[in-house]
Amino acid sequence: MAPARRQHRRRVGTPPHRGGLLARAKAAIPSLRVQQGSATLSPVAEIGLIASRELRKSIRSVKGIILGILTLLGSLLAAYVCIRIEGAFRDDLGAETTDAFTAAQEKYYVGQGVDTQLAHYLASIPVSMKAFLAVVIWLGPLLVALLGFDSVSGDIQHRSVRFWTVRSRRWSYLLGKFFGLWGIVAIVTGTLTILSGLLIMISGYISVGAFVGWGLRFWLVSTLIAGTWTAIAIFVSSRFKTPILALLVTFAAFFAIWLTRAVGIVSRVVETAHNMTGDQANEHAERMVSIRWYEYLYPNGYDDLLLSPKPMQVAAGLGGCFAYMIVFVGLATLLFARKDV
C-alpha cells in the first residue's frame, strides 16, 4: 500500500511543469529566494537587486544595443555640428583663441545690459558643450520611452510580476524599476557627454579643466531632467499590461507636456511682437519677463535654472525635478499596491 500511496501523492501534487517553472525562476534570481525561517531582505536590498537586474537586462537586450548604437552615431554627428556652430561664432567675433572668444562674449553680454558678473559667468560656459547639452536633453524623453515602456507592463503581460511581488514589497519593486531605468539613461547620457567633450577638447575649444568641470555639471543636469521623464514612464507602464499600449500612452503624455512649452513660447512671441516698439532692442529680455507659469510643466526647460549661478534658481530647478519624481513614482506606487496582478 505504501508505493500506491506515494504514487497517488505524485498524481495529485504539484504538476511537473509548474514545479520546473518555479525552479527555473528561483535559479535565475537566487538572491531573492525566500527560505522558511529566514529573514526577509531589507527594502534597500530589494530595490538594489531589481535595479541591477534592469540595468543588466537593458544592456544585454537587442533593443538596448540597437538604441545605443543609433544614439551614439546620432550624437557624434550632433557633436560635430555643435563644434561647427562654435567655429562660426568665433569667426564672426574674430576670436582666434578661447580666451579671446570668452572676452568677446563677455563684452557682447555687457553690451546687452547684462550684469558684469553674470556676463562673465555666461561667457565662461563652453558654447559647443552647452549646445550638445540641449541635444542630450532633447533625446532624453525618447530614450526613456523606448527603453522603459515595457519595464513594468512587460512583466504584467507575461505574469513574471507575480514572482517579484511575492518575494519583495510592491513599492520596492516599482522603485527598483525606476532606479534601473534612470540608471541606464544616466549611463547613456554620461557616455555621450564624455565623447562629445573629448571631441570638443581635441578641437581646441575647451581645456581639460573645463571638460571635467562643465562636463560633470552638464551630465548632472541632463540626468536630473531625465529622471522626471523616467518617473512618468514608470507610472504609465505600471498602469497597462500591454507594452505597445504603454508605449503609445507614454508618447502621448510626453507630447502633451511638450505642448505646454510650445504654447507658452508662441504666446510670448505673439505678445512681444504686439507690444514691441521701434526702440525696444532687447527682445530676449522682454520675452523672458512674460514667461508663462505652465511652461514649467515641461521638465526640459529646467536646464537654465539648474545652470544658473544663483542658488535660489538652482534650488527651484532641483525642486521641480524632484517634485516630478516624487509625484509620479508615489502615485504609481499607491495605484500599483491595489492592482490585481
Give the pLDDT of residue 23: 47
Q: Which pLDDT value is given to residue 331?
A: 95
Mark the ranges of the chain whose per-residue pLDDT is less than 50. 1-39, 279-289
pLDDT of residue 175: 93
Q: What is the pLDDT of residue 100?
A: 87
Confidence (pLDDT) at 37: 34
So what's the pLDDT on residue 288? 45
Taking Cα atoms as reference points, which of 302, 213, 217, 299 lies closest to residue 254?
299
| Predicted TM-score (pTM) of this structure | 0.81
Q: What is the pLDDT of residue 326?
A: 96
Which residue type does 279 have?
D
Domain extents in the chain: 41-337
The per-residue pLDDT for 341 is 67
Q: Please give the pLDDT value at position 132.
A: 93
Q: What is the pLDDT of residues 271-315, one digit of tens each?
A: 777 766 554 444 444 444 467 788 889 999 999 899 999 999 999
